[in-house]
Structure 1
Amino acid sequence: MSGMQPAVEFRAVTKRYGAAAAVDTISFTIARGDLVTLLGPSGCGKTTTLRLIAGLEHATEGQIRIGGKDVTRLSAAERDVSMVFQSYALFPHMNVLENACYGLLASGIARKRAEEMARSKLALVGLSGFETRLPSELSGGQQQRVAVARAIVLEPEVLLFDEPLSNLDAKLRRHVREEIRALQQDLKLTVVYVTHDQQEALAVSDRVIVMNAARIAQDGTPRALYEQPASRFVADFIGDANLLPVTVRRMDETMAEIRLGSLALTLPHRGAANGSAELAVRPQAVRLGEAGGLPGQVLRAAYLGSHMEYEVGLAGTAAELFVIAPDVSTPIPAGTEVSVTFDPAGLAVVPGS
């Protein structure tokens, strides 16, 4: 088998329940050793897509290939994948080693060999010395690592994570997502990861497939999705963009003059035609107080420790801007008149809007 074969390939896959399509004609490939996240709101089709890879659901149309092999009609047991569930699904009455061995024993491997294989994987995830502990004696992050060890002990082609951090508090989420990413890179695992949390997706992924209403809205690197959203949905879903109506006047193959009220900005037009369009403005790209901008007024101000958050009304429009500002030493009180300017690095014309 060629080393160039993708680990996972979807070819025009559809999954219907009755007349409703949970997944509608989606195609993508996942390269070996990559962590690819399926991201989107509830009901967008991301979990169904993961279950289609796992063989827990079967495609109505299209073809699914894993490691170059057509698995469209194969059962979950016949596919070379392992799933790490949301709740980790550890057996509470079994110790760490017994939990890690479970899949091996279930597949008929002798106990001595199974324990050797499980110990080596527990060492890989940093849990040597924890073999006799029960899950209740472990932290959330350690439980996550037992679940990963149990999943990789079978050395699957693809490891699947279904919302693995949703049961953890915010601080632990950050720690465990860093652990998952480090393990994935150290062990060169191919991972498909489902989340509805944009920050989590940006932090762990080589690539993100954003889904909306059973289809792929955009597929790209975290930076491409954030800096060059392909649609209004992606701009808004990833990174809280402010979407403002603008006028576009194309100047050449790539650049255009963008008019936002009395401001003229020169930006890539990204295929937008002359006339009206929308501009995605990141909250961090709004500057308050510098002269020569658009007149506005601070409507609300909130202190969040590391930064300030403001809602700013633009004079003469119904637009309210969500603004994140790093300066916490001199906050701007609500009611203050401000001049609003923008850092071009945080602006993108939204094509097709």
Structure 2
Amino acid sequence: MSDVTTPAVELRGVTKRYGDVTALRTIDLAIDRGTLVTLLGPSGCGKTTMLRLIAGLERPDDGRILIGGRDVTLAAASERNIGMVFQSYALFPHMTVLENVCYGLRAGGMKKAEAIAAATDKIALVGLAGYESRLPSELSGGQQQRVAVARAIVLEPEVLLFDEPLSNLDAKLRRHVREEIRELQQSLSLTAVYVTHDQQEALAISDRILVMNMAAVAQDGSPRALYEQPESRFVADFIGDANIVPIEVRRIDGPLAEIDLAGLVLTLPHHGATVGAAELAIRPQSVGLAPGAGAPGTLPGRLATAAYLGSHMEYRVRITPEIELFVVSPDVAAPLKPGCDVAVSVAADGVAIIPGR
């Protein structure tokens, strides 16, 4: 048995090509035990390829893959001690819930009584006690997903892989099931690698997110770090809503930079920016609006659009011909009207300099 300090999963210089196309480029990655790491990115970025390499469904062209400190680069999927929850659930339609969850145990040679006991325990763990005799067609989408999770964890895998597991569910059910997956992962201290293209999903469930783009990792960090301190325009734009606007870095003083945003001077952490042209990522909720214009420390703007969304207002504000800001305001009691002049302020939180432009 490997030492608890040994990473659950390691990729060392892993590259995967399909003909002339590089699907994954020189990836180095170590995943700690008991954590949920999400691979997030647009279609074609390499996240599913990385999951398939970990699972043993593909082999790398270069590099090594280790699970629990054991080199499994050339090992078959059945020899890796991993569990996988597929997008399509992949349940056997003619088998009951209990039979589906028992299947892997029985295929591995476990006695029927032992397999039923273990499967019944895991079915209860995912909140489906009493559903053992039902067929998949008699379950909701969320319940089918829980059966798929129970079937994977009953084998007590070293690593559990999720391939876009919520994409077939509606928005409300997705939120409920993702909370269940996160609670289960934490309560059992499972090591999980989770693939999604949904930013909200990734932020909600992850200990760590790898934002991927063009076969490489664009940024690796906690949900908060990625949201509040994006290191590139791509990450700032991909993780949540962000206004990306041009700025001028006027001077650097230690960790801080003095910037010029359309005449408004702000002091912010520079994150590696140098004096000269750069860009600023501004989250919509970090922009304040007040009727009128010309207040000190604000920018004059004109409201272009206003939309009521029940819990908040969404605005678009024109600052200059080149700069328009998307703004989210919780103030629904006194909405502003399109065409009015506004004073635009920028909070210190939710604002980050993006080096280079």
TM-score per shorter chain, which class?
A: over 0.9
Contact 2:39–2:210 at 8 Å: present in 1 too?
A: yes
Aligned equivalent of 1:12? 13
After superposition, where does 1:21-36 map in structure 2 within 5 Å?
Answer: 21-36=22-37
Aligned equivalent of 1:330? 334
Alignment partner of 1:300 is 2:305:
yes
Report deviation, 1:107. Answer: 1.9
More deviation in 292-301 or 277-286? 292-301
Alignment partner of 1:339 is 2:333:
no
Could you tell me how far apart the structure 2 residues matched to 1:352 and 1:144 are?
A: 44
Aligned equivalent of 2:92? 91
Could you tell me how far apart the structure 2 residues matched to 1:250 and 1:160 are?
A: 46
Report deviation, 1:122. Answer: 1.2
Contact 2:252–2:270 at 8 Å: present in 1 too?
A: no
Match of 1:289, SS state, is strand
After superposition, where does 1:129-144 map in structure 2 within 5 Å?
Answer: 129-144=130-145
Report deviation, 1:352. Answer: 3.6
Aligned equivalent of 2:149? 148
Letter of the structure 2 residue corresponding to residue 210 of structure 1: V
**Structure 1: unaligned runs, 5 residues or longer:** none
Could you tell me how far apart the structure 2 residues matched to 1:351 and 1:142 are?
A: 46
Aligned equivalent of 1:319? 323
Aligned equivalent of 2:162? 161
Contact 1:281–1:348 at 8 Å: present in 2 too?
A: yes
Could you tell me how far apart the structure 1 residues matched to 2:285 and 2:222 are?
A: 20
Match of 1:178, SS state, is helix
Aligned equivalent of 1:187? 188
Report deviation, 1:136. Answer: 2.1
Report deviation, 1:344. Answer: 1.0
Alignment partner of 1:212 is 2:251:
no
Percent identity among equivalent residues? 67
Aligned equivalent of 1:41? 42
Contact 2:277–2:356 at 8 Å: present in 1 too?
A: no
Could you tell me how far apart the structure 2 residues matched to 1:108 and 1:234 are?
A: 47
**Structure 2: unaligned runs, 5 residues or longer:** none
Report deviation, 1:137. Answer: 2.1
Contact 2:252–2:275 at 8 Å: present in 1 too?
A: no
Q: Deviations over 1:256-281 (max 9, x none)?
A: 11111121101111110001110100
Q: Deviations over 1:157-189 (max 9, x none)?
A: 000001111011111010000000000001111
Match of 1:344, SS state, is coil
Could you tell me how far apart the structure 1 residues matched to 2:41 and 2:252 are?
A: 35
Aligned equivalent of 2:249? 248
Contact 2:252–2:274 at 8 Å: present in 1 too?
A: no
Contact 1:250–1:269 at 8 Å: present in 2 too?
A: no
- The alignment's TM-score, normalised by the length of structure 2, stands at 0.96
Aligned equivalent of 1:287? 288
Runs of 4+ in 1 over 4 A off after TM superposition: none
Aligned residues between the structures: 352
Q: Deviations over 1:319-338 (max 9, x none)?
A: 11111111111111211111
Letter of the structure 2 residue corresponding to residue 301 of structure 1: A
Could you tell me how far apart the structure 1 residues matched to 2:263 and 2:290 are?
A: 16
Q: Deviations over 1:286-332 (max 9, x none)?
A: 111163311111111111111111111113x3111111111111111
Q: Deviations over 1:52-109 (max 9, x none)?
A: 0000111010111001000111111111111100011112221110010111122222
Aligned equivalent of 1:310? 315
Could you tell me how far apart the structure 2 residues matched to 1:308 and 1:90 are?
A: 43
Letter of the structure 1 residue corresponding to residue 16 of structure 2: K
Aligned equivalent of 1:101? 102
Could you tell me how far apart the structure 1 residues matched to 2:88 and 2:138 are?
A: 16
Cα RMSD after superposing both structures? 1.1
Letter of the structure 1 residue corresponding to residue 327 of structure 2: V
